[in-house]
């Protein structure tokens, strides 16, 4: 039995929980406007019902008090006026008194007088007197009156018993009907209900207007949010007020503004990345083309100069085998020595163009000094070369190669395009970075236009890529007619290795 009872209770609790959860789920799906409207209507109806019920109770109690007072007053008046008639045993006069009192008071349902022995002396019931009324209400001799209420066939009767001459002559009874009271209460209740309905209608109208005012900005925000989900990031909501919804609208506007800015920045970054990728592909193509051209040039020089020189040497050696005159042999050997010397010089020049050995053997500064001397003699452009901080130590090979190639490319561009008469090159090595500056007094250009145009500015892009691979920066400042300045800044870190201070990226 205990198990069955526990199962039933558990089942009932589960059903209640399911119903509550279902109701909450339904409530969650209801729109805010309907929630606010339902709440306002519910509160208005609840307050109106409570007011009508409370006012009805107050009015009923007040009317009953008034009815009781009237009953006591009528009974006291009848008792006072019937005293003399009872003293002379004039029952008929008492009967007429009761009839007149009944006619003059609509709320009086009946009147009767009983003597001290309980005999009815006069009444207003006609021929049949209900004897059960005799026991329905009694009064002691010391009390002024006694009031009671009971239900009859005609409704609730409020019965008052008043002793006549302190009960010596008997008791008169007055029965008051509550129909008039109920009618007045009902009429007042209907009036209150009409007022409550009117107030409820006003409350509903106010709730509708309030919910419309409150939910209109929310609906606008929902519509704007849907537009944002479709990609319209520049939308802005209208701030109707400075309340919580207004603050929410301002926050939404700031959010969309931030999203729009972030989107534009992302698009700009994507464009820059696409442009860099395109430039990288063009640079790669140019590098591959340059490699092939360099191979062709080296092959051509080896074939046209070195190969011919070696062939000439072989021919000279064969001629020496047949020469018998020492003078002719000496002349032939001198000619062969000249050819060998010239060939060796050409091979050295070719090797320096491919990669200067002085860069590996002596470092960046001597390599640039040699290149600048050759550059000045070849192009006739004066170069002011200044170095700070490279006296005792060398940076890593990667930084040396990068700086050498960047300065080389910058000077090559000056010779090709700048039409400059003076160039300044500065190498400055501080604690944790190396700065290279190449400045000319040429005609200058617009860096943005040169870099963004497809197929152009690949040299500048290559210099930028070399610096970026080492974690450095590359900047160009140039104006038409003023000149161009190239800034390269590469970070370095110091390490101790084999007792010699070296610097590595």
Last residue of a domain, one of 187, 216, 232: 232
Most confident of 175-189, 374-388, 461-475: 374-388
The H-or-E segment that residue 309 falls in is: helix 307-322
* Residue 452 pLDDT: 41
163-168: long-range contacts, CB 8 A cutoff, minimum separation 24:
163/79, 163/139, 164/79, 164/82, 164/83, 164/86, 164/113, 165/79, 165/83, 165/86, 166/141, 167/116, 167/139, 167/140, 167/141, 168/116
- pLDDT value of position 113: 92
Q: In this structure, are 91 and 225 located in the same domain?
A: yes
The total number of structural domains that make up the chain: 3
Mean pLDDT lowest for which of 62-76, 218-232, 409-423, 448-462?
Answer: 448-462
- Pairing between β-strand 433-440 and β-strand 483-491 as defined by DSSP bridges: antiparallel
- 2/110 same-domain check: no
* Confidence (pTM): 0.42
51 and 145: one domain?
yes
- Both 227 and 375 in one domain: the answer is no
CB 486 within 8 A of CB 410: yes
pLDDT at 67 over 80: yes
User: Which tens digits make up the pLDDT trace of 283-294?
Assistant: 566 656 656 566
Regarding predicted confidence, which is higher, 228 or 279? 228
pLDDT above 90: residue 380: no
Query: What are the two backbone dihedrals, phi and then psi, of residue 490, each rounded to the nearest 5 degrees?
Result: -125, 130
The enclosing domain of 440 has a CATH number of: 3.30.565.10
Give me the pLDDT at residue 215, please.
Answer: 74
Q: Are residue 157 and residue 135 in the same domain, yes or no?
A: yes
Domain membership flag for residue 99:
yes
- Which of the four pLDDT bands, split at 50, 70 and 90, describes residue 499? very low
Instruction: List CB contacts of 199: < 8 A, sequence separation 6 or more.
Output: 44, 48
Query: What are the backbone dihedrals phi and psi of residue 460, each rounded to the nearest 5 degrees, phi first?
Result: -65, -40
**What mean pLDDT comes out for the span 103-117?**
89
Least confident of 84-98, 258-272, 326-340: 326-340
Collapsing DSSP states into helix, strand and coil, what is residue 484? strand
Of 84, 170, 67, 166, the residue nearest 123 (C-alpha): 170
18 and 131 fall within a common domain = no
Nearest-CA neighbor of 461 among 277, 293, 218? 277
pLDDT at 502: 41
Same domain, 88 and 214: yes
Is the pLDDT score of 37 beyond 90? Answer: no
pLDDT in tens, 145-171: 889 988 888 788 889 999 988 888 889
Q: Does the pLDDT at position 231 exceed 60? A: yes
Helix or strand holding residue 413 (H, E): helix 397-413
- Return the biggest CA–CA distance within the chain: 203
pLDDT of amino acid 298: 64
Regarding whether 186 and 52 lie in a shared domain, the answer is yes
The tens digit of pLDDT for each residue in 447-485 reads 776 654 444 455 777 788 888 888 889 899 888 888 899
Same domain, 178 and 135: yes
Which of 136, 142, 131, 140 shows the shortest CA–CA distance to 158?
136
């Amino acid at each position: 039995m205990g198990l069955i009872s526990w199962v039933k209770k558990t089942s009932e609790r589960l059903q209640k929980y399911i119903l509550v959860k279902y109701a909450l789920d339904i409530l969650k799906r209801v729109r805010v406007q309907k929630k606010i409207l339902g709440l306002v209507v519910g509160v208005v109806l609840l307050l109106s019902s409570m007011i009508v019920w409370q006012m009805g109770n107050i009015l009923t109690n007040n009317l009953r008090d008034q009815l009781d007072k009237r009953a006591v007053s009528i009974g006291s008046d009848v008792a006072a006026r019937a005293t003399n008639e009872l003293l002379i045993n004039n029952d008929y006069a008492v009967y007429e008194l009761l009839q007149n009192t009944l006619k003059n008071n609509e709320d009086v349902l009946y009147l009767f007088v009983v003597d001290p022995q309980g005999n009815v002396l006069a009444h207003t019931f006609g021929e049949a007197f209900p004897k059960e009324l005799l026991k329905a209400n009694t009064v002691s001799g010391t009390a002024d009156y006694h009031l009671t209420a009971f239900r009859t066939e005609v409704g609730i009767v409020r019965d008052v018993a008043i002793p006549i001459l302190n009960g010596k002559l008997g008791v008169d009874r007055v029965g008051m009907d509550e129909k008039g009271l109920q009618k007045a209460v009902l009429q007042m209740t209907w009036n209150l209900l009409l007022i409550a309905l009117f107030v409820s209608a006003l409350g509903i109208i106010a709730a509708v207007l309030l919910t419309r005012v409150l939910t209109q900005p929310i609906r606008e925000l929902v519509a704007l949010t849907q537009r944002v989900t479709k990609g319209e990031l520049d939308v802005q909501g209208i701030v109707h007020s400075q309340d919580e919804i207004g603050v929410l609208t301002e926050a939404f506007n700031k959010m969309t503004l931030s999203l729009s800015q972030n989107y534009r920045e992302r698009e700009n970054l994507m464009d820059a990345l696409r442009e860099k990728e395109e430039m990288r592909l063009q640079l790669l193509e140019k590098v591959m083309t340059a490699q092939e051209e360099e191979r062709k040039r080296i092959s051509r020089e080896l074939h046209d100069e070195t190969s011919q020189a070696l062939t000439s040497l072989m021919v000279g050696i064969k001629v020496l085998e047949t020469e018998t005159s020492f003078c002719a042999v000496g002349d032939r050997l001198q000619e062969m020595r000249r050819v060998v010397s010239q060939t060796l010089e050409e091979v050295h020049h070719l090797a320096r163009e491919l990669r200067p050995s002085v860069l590996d053997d002596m470092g960046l500064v001597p390599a640039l000094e040699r290149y600048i001397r050759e550059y000045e003699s070849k192009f006739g452009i004066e170069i002011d070369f200044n170095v700070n901080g490279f006296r005792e130590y060398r940076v890593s090979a990667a930084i040396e190669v990068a700086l050498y190639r960047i300065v080389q490319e910058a000077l090559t561009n000056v010779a090709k395009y700048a039409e400059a008469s003076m160039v300044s090159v500065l190498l400055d090595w501080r604690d944790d970075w190396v700065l290279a500056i190449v400045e000319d007094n040429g005609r200058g250009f617009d860096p943005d236009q040169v870099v963004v145009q497809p197929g152009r500015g690949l040299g500048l892009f290559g210099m930028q890529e070399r610096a970026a691979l080492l974690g450095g920066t590359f900047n160009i400042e140039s104006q038409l007619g003023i000149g161009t300045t190239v800034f390269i800044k590469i970070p370095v870190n110091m390490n101790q290795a084999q007792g010699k201070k070296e610097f590595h990226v």
